[in-house]
Amino acid sequence: MAATQSNTVAPNATEYGGDEISALVLDPGYSVVRAGFAGEDVPKSVVPSYYGILSTDAHRKHLYGENAIHNPLPNIEIRNPFLDNGLVGDWDTATNLWEYAITSRLTNTKPSDPMTNGLNEKTDEMKDEMEGIETQERPLEENPLLITESPLNTGKGREKPIEIAMENWGTPAFWLARSGVLSA
């Protein structure tokens, strides 16, 4: 017989009690990308899936968030990384949009090394840029992640979010679930 959880006694630190693991939930949709913590009633971050591309003479800059696309700017083009059927068409932009949705309100930036934060003079002991690749900030390396997917998603479309979450963001655990199953 399974032991029941007591309301008066805190769960053991080694067992999952519900609130000890702050799993993130990412729900990318055609019109908005919602992100929040598992167990909460509403997502903390709701970002439009539409983004702006600001073209200048020298380069193109991607703008994310409501303020970026609703302010009238010259030479701005509004796009969406999703196709009409809800599948991702532009993976690079979708990755940046998802990361923005998570890092804008859910996670804090990690403190940088005081030797490289621009306040100190450069010394001969400074490392080459390539040596610090392993220590680059990975916004989700401390949180498990659940991403919802479209029911029409293909096998390749299922592999790409897993690759992004595990390799780029360094998530310790990952789950991909169909949106229809989660809403039932």
Give 50-91 pLDDT, tens digit per residue: 888 888 878 888 888 887 778 788 888 888 888 888 888 889
Angular region, 30: left φ>0, alpha ψ -120 to 50, beta rest: alpha
Extract the runs of DSSP E, i.e. beta strands, from 38-179.
45-48, 51-55, 60-63, 76-79, 145-149, 174-178
Predicted confidence (pLDDT) at residue 5 exceeds the cutoff of 80: no
Helices and strands (H and E) in the chain: how many = 4, 8
> For 163, which DSSP code?
H
Predicted confidence (pLDDT) at residue 133 exceeds the cutoff of 50: no
Q: Which among 7, 23, 158 has a CA at the least distance from the CA of 88?
A: 158
CB hemisphere CA count around 113 (13 angstroms): 9
Calculate mean pLDDT across residues 124-141: 52
The Cα-based distances of 95 to 88, 105, 121, 180 in angstroms read 10, 16, 35, 22
Q: What pLDDT digit, counting tens, does each position of 33-60 carry?
A: 999 888 888 888 898 988 888 888 788 8
How far apart are alpha carbons 149 and 82 in whole angstroms? 12
Query: What is the identity of the amino acid at 117?
Result: N
Helix (H) or strand (E) holding 92: helix 91-105
CB 87 within 8 A of CB 154: yes
The pair of three-digit structure tokens given for residue 105, joined into one six-digit string: 């309100």
Query: What is the identity of the amino acid at 76?
Result: I
What pLDDT score was predicted for residue 125?
A: 52
How far apart are alpha carbons 51 and 76 in whole angstroms? 10
- What is the model's pTM? 0.70
> For 89, which DSSP code?
S
What pLDDT score was predicted for residue 123?
A: 52
